[in-house]
């Protein structure tokens, strides 16, 4: 889905345009086409495409796609057009959907500057985009979690801790996007509702490299996910002008969108836009910063969790019902009534599932059907339900500022400790009956 922000006199209208293949000049006005061409030419020498690590033979050899990324928008004001995002080439390959998850390594990606993003004023009506990083929303109730040296901050498992920031990749969860690559090895995965009640994932990587996709667009909900991670690298296909301006405005986030960075390619065996992939390794090679802070407190290995024994539960988003079943060692995920598997063939499993209930607000943006683009305000406090070690614990999440890590406490004030391992976060609307 592409969004078009159209200004007409004093009024500003956001129009969403359905996106199939990567946008080309046939879909743009003559003024927009000229601007796209000018932008691509200006960045062509500094943003070489990264060749896909996947083999391709015969007529399906790698070829360059048009130098535009999907999910981008164009600001049309009076008779002039300004393209507010730089563009880079991507590479398409034929063959099967990627299944490798270890990452290819390779040269650092090349990333161009953001230029002058659009002013979101007058359109955006959410909350996260206007909060300062250290603006206090509520008082802390517990100290932030810590882990000892030699323990991975995002999993609580022992091992060599890479000296690099977290990488957050936005991943499609539509039917055509499955099976996805990389979500089975992410340290943490956040499931977010977007317009129409469908969901997308924000997969957080730190302990391991991965080839990830299909990569899709950003949302303002991502601000609440990103800013507790220190100086994360954000990988996404692009965003409408309003959302992109808000994401670019966060100085602590290293923006590696496909609109500004090399290191992406398209799998021609899949239909656009659900065919954009990337590899975390080259993005880390060009990133700066230290490991992220731990997001959770962990029990010792083998220490049983308190709580109510629970064998299964469901998270019923409006257009995507996910269920989790305890198999004695992990929570196994299903969606659409069938097991959720990754492109590697592995069943999606987690040591912990943390269900965060937040306020849902209107961003002031809509899609092509007129559906509101929501924002889930993950700052302040709210109800949390933690599923760990076959048990359920209910309590409160508290996050004083956007920079803060949310703490999880029981109703008696005790810190909720997770099982070391991978964690999924289900971000849902408070009081909507989604957790079942």
- H or E element in which residue 290 lies: none
At residue 70 the predicted structure's pLDDT band, cuts being 50, 70 and 90, is very low
The answer to whether residue 83 is domain-embedded is yes
The answer to whether residue 326 is domain-embedded is yes
The answer to whether residue 121 is domain-embedded is no
The per-residue pLDDT for range 123-170, each reduced to its tens digit, is 999 999 999 999 999 999 999 999 999 999 999 999 999 999 999 999
The answer to whether residue 357 is domain-embedded is yes
Q: Tell which residue, 253, 255, 251, has the closest CA to residue 237.
A: 255
pLDDT, average across residues 18-39: 30
**Which of 265, 285, 305 is at the close of a domain?**
285
3-state secondary structure of 202: strand
What total number of domains does the chain contain?
A: 3
Please tell me whether residues 141 and 228 are part of one structural domain: yes
Residue 29 has pLDDT above 70, yes or no: no
Residue 247 has pLDDT above 80, yes or no: yes
Please tell me whether residues 368 and 424 are part of one structural domain: yes
Please tell me whether residues 308 and 280 are part of one structural domain: no
The answer to whether residue 105 is domain-embedded is no
- Confirm if 372 and 358 have CB atoms less than 8 A apart: no
pTM of the model: 0.79
Task: Give the other-Cβ count within 10 Å of 360's Cβ.
Answer: 18
List of residues 6+ apart from 354 with CB closer than 8 A: 296, 384, 385, 386, 387, 408, 418, 423, 424, 425, 426
Q: Which two tokens stand for residue 384?
A: 């949390």
Please tell me whether residues 149 and 265 are part of one structural domain: yes
The vertex-28 CA angle with 94 and 364, nearest 5°, equals 100
The vertex-373 CA angle with 372 and 378, nearest 5°, equals 125
Please tell me whether residues 137 and 260 are part of one structural domain: yes
Please tell me whether residues 175 and 61 are part of one structural domain: no
Please tell me whether residues 328 and 390 are part of one structural domain: yes
> Where are any strands of DSSP class E within 172-244?
188-193, 199-205, 211-212, 233-235
Please tell me whether residues 64 and 166 are part of one structural domain: no
The per-residue pLDDT for range 351-368, each reduced to its tens digit, is 999 999 999 999 999 887
Residue 302 has pLDDT above 80, yes or no: yes
At residue 107 the predicted structure's pLDDT band, cuts being 50, 70 and 90, is confident
Q: Tell which residue, 161, 157, 151, 212, has the closest CA to residue 184.
A: 212
- Confirm if 196 and 90 have CB atoms less than 8 A apart: no
pLDDT, average across residues 423-430: 98
List of residues 6+ apart from 303 with CB closer than 8 A: none
The answer to whether residue 110 is domain-embedded is no
Helix (H), strand (E) counts: the chain: 4, 28
Residue 253 has pLDDT above 50, yes or no: yes
pLDDT value of position 102: 55
**Which of 285, 320, 340 is at the close of a domain?**
285
- Confirm if 302 and 179 have CB atoms less than 8 A apart: no
Please tell me whether residues 7 and 53 are part of one structural domain: yes
**Which of 252, 285, 318 is at the close of a domain?**
285
Please tell me whether residues 133 and 277 are part of one structural domain: yes
Q: How far apart are CA 93 and CA 373, in angstroms?
A: 32
The answer to whether residue 327 is domain-embedded is yes
Q: What DSSP character marks residue 96?
A: S
| pLDDT, the chain, mean | 80
Percent of the chain with pLDDT over 90: 70
Please tell me whether residues 134 and 66 are part of one structural domain: no
List of residues 6+ apart from 45 with CB closer than 8 A: none
Q: How far apart are CA 248 and CA 167, in angstroms?
A: 16
Residue 117 has pLDDT above 70, yes or no: no
Residue 92 has pLDDT above 50, yes or no: no
Residue 265 has pLDDT above 80, yes or no: yes
pLDDT value of position 122: 80
pLDDT value of position 110: 79
Task: State the CATH number of the domain containing residue 353.
Answer: 3.50.90.10
pLDDT, average across residues 249-260: 96
Residue 79 has pLDDT above 70, yes or no: no
The answer to whether residue 101 is domain-embedded is no
Q: Tell which residue, 214, 267, 215, has the closest CA to residue 93.
A: 267
pLDDT value of position 283: 98
What is the extent of the structural domain holding 338? 297-429
Q: 30 φ, ψ to 5°?
A: -60, -40
Please tell me whether residues 274 and 342 are part of one structural domain: no
Place of tokens 């999606």: 348
């Amino acid at each position: 889905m592409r969004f078009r922000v159209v200004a007409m006199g004093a009024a500003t209208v956001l129009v969403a345009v359905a996106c199939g293949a990567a946008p080309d000049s046939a879909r743009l006005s003559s003024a927009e086409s000229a601007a796209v061409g000018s932008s691509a030419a200006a960045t062509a020498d500094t943003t070489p495409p990264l060749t896909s690590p996947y083999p391709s033979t015969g007529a399906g050899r790698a070829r360059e796609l048009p130098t535009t990324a999907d999910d981008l928008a164009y600001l049309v004001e009076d008779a002039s057009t300004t393209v507010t995002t730089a563009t880079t080439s991507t590479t398409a390959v034929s063959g099967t959907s990627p299944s490798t998850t270890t990452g290819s390594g390779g040269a650092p990606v090349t990333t161009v500057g953001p230029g002058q993003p659009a002013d979101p004023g007058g359109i955006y009506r959410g909350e996260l985009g206007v909060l300062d990083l250290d603006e206090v929303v509520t008082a802390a109730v517990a100290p932030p979690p810590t882990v000892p040296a030699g323990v991975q901050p995002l999993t609580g498992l022992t091992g060599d801790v890479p000296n690099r920031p977290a990488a957050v990749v936005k991943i499609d969860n539509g039917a055509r996007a499955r099976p996805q690559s990389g979500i089975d090895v992410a340290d943490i995965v956040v499931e977010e509702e977007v317009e129409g009640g469908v969901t997308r994932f924000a997969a957080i990587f730190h302990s391991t490299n991965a080839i990830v996709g299909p990569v899709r667009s950003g949302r303002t909900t991502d601000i609440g996910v990103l800013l507790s991670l220190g100086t994360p690298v954000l990988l996404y296909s692009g965003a409408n002008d309003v959302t992109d301006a808000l994401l670019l405005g966060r100085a602590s986030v290293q923006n590696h969108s496909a609109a500004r960075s090399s290191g992406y390619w398209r799998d021609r065996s899949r239909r656009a836009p659900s065919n954009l992939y990337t590899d975390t390794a080259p993005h880390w090679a060009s990133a700066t910063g230290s490991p992220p802070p731990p997001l959770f407190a962990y029990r010792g290995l083998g220490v049983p969790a308190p709580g109510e024994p629970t064998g299964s539960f469901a998270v019923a988003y409006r257009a995507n019902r996910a269920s989790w079943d305890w198999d004695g060692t992990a929570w196994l995920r299903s969606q659409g009534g069938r097991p959720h598997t990754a492109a590697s063939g592995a069943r999606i499993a987690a040591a912990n599932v943390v269900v965060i209930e937040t306020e849902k607000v209107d961003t002031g943006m809509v899609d092509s059907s007129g559906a509101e683009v929501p924002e889930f305000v993950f700052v302040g406090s709210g109800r949390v339900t933690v599923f760990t070690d076959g048990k359920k614990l209910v309590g409160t999440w508290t996050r004083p500022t956007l920079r803060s890590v949310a703490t999880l406490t029981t109703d008696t004030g005790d810190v909720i400790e997770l099982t070391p391992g991978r964690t999924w976060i289900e971000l849902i609307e408070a009081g909507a009956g989604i957790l079942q």
